[in-house]
């Protein structure tokens, strides 16, 4: 476990002291990428900071304890199983259940068939919201959310590619475009995406209210 912690805490400014640490440093990649963290309790977002073939370091806003089993879903669509080996100061270290290929995990893209581009990580939720379409105010159920958009269940049809306003407690009011609608569900693309800091603050409030 010492080698893992060395790999995850090493910075570019620090020079490895021996050959084994230099090999670990070569496998270590610094990133700044949002991913989905799945625990036994919920799905949340996190920011990947360092990754190697055996583990990673991530910034988190939710409580995760050492020894806890987690699954990380990358922006590329890859899912990596692992366990938390340390947690402190809003960061965690995760040891993978099996070694990975870092270039493969970071380079291959998972595309949304409807949008033709990489999908940002999203989490499943169940909460009420409001959509203002023209002069019509519609009560909707939020089914999942990312920094860039939402999937909602709507009792009223929404015109694809029309501009609407979505209201969600804790986030407020945001302009959005209807990307698709079928069988009472639709995808809304936020015209002003949420920053990670905004998303994290909102989720911390949601988790506190749920206790």
This prediction has a pTM of: 0.77
Mean pLDDT of the chain: 83
Domain boundary (109, 140, 174) is at 109
Pair 6, 104 in one domain: yes
Between CA 95 and CA 52 the distance in angstroms is: 10
Pair 141, 100 in one domain: no
Between CA 39 and CA 60 the distance in angstroms is: 12
Tell me which residue range forms the domain holding 151.
122-210
Band the pLDDT of 118: cuts 50, 70, 90.
low
Pair 104, 126 in one domain: no
| Residues in a beta bridge with 174 | 166
Pair 63, 17 in one domain: yes
Pair 129, 176 in one domain: yes
Q: What is the pLDDT of residue 77?
A: 81
Q: 197-203: which pairs have CB atoms within 8 A and are 24 or more residues apart?
A: 198/171, 199/45, 199/147, 200/45, 200/61, 202/170, 202/171, 203/44, 203/45, 203/61, 203/62
Domain boundary (109, 134, 166) is at 109
Q: Tell me whether residue 116 is in a domain.
A: no
Q: What is the pLDDT of residue 25?
A: 40
**Most confident listed range (25-29, 105-109, 133-137):** 133-137
Between CA 179 and CA 88 the distance in angstroms is: 40
Q: What is the pLDDT of residue 207?
A: 85
Pair 102, 22 in one domain: yes
Pair 17, 104 in one domain: yes
Band the pLDDT of 6: cuts 50, 70, 90.
very low
């Amino acid at each position: 476990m010492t080698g893992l912690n060395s790999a995850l805490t090493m910075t570019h400014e620090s020079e490895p002291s021996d050959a084994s640490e230099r090999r670990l440093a070569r496998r270590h990649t610094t990133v700044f990428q949002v991913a989905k963290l799945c625990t036994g309790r919920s799905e949340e977002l996190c920011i990947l900071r360092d990754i190697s073939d055996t583990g990673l370091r991530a910034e988190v806003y939710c409580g995760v304890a050492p020894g806890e089993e987690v699954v990380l879903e990358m922006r590329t669509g890859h899912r990596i199983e692992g366990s938390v080996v340390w947690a402190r100061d809003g960061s965690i270290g995760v040891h993978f259940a099996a070694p990975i290929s870092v270039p493969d995990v970071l380079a291959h893209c998972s595309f949304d068939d409807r949008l033709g581009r990489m999908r940002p990580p999203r989490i499943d939720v169940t909460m009420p919201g409001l959509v203002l379409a023209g002069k019509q105010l519609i009560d909707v159920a939020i089914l999942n959310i990312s920094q860039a958009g939402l999937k909602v269940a709507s009792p009223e049809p929404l015109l694809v590619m029309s501009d609407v306003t979505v209201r969600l407690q804790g986030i407020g009011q945001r302009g959005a475009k209807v990307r698709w609608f079928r069988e009472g569900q639709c995808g809304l693309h936020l015209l002003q995406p949420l920053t990670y800091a905004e998303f994290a603050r909102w989720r911390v409030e949601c988790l506190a209210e749920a206790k």
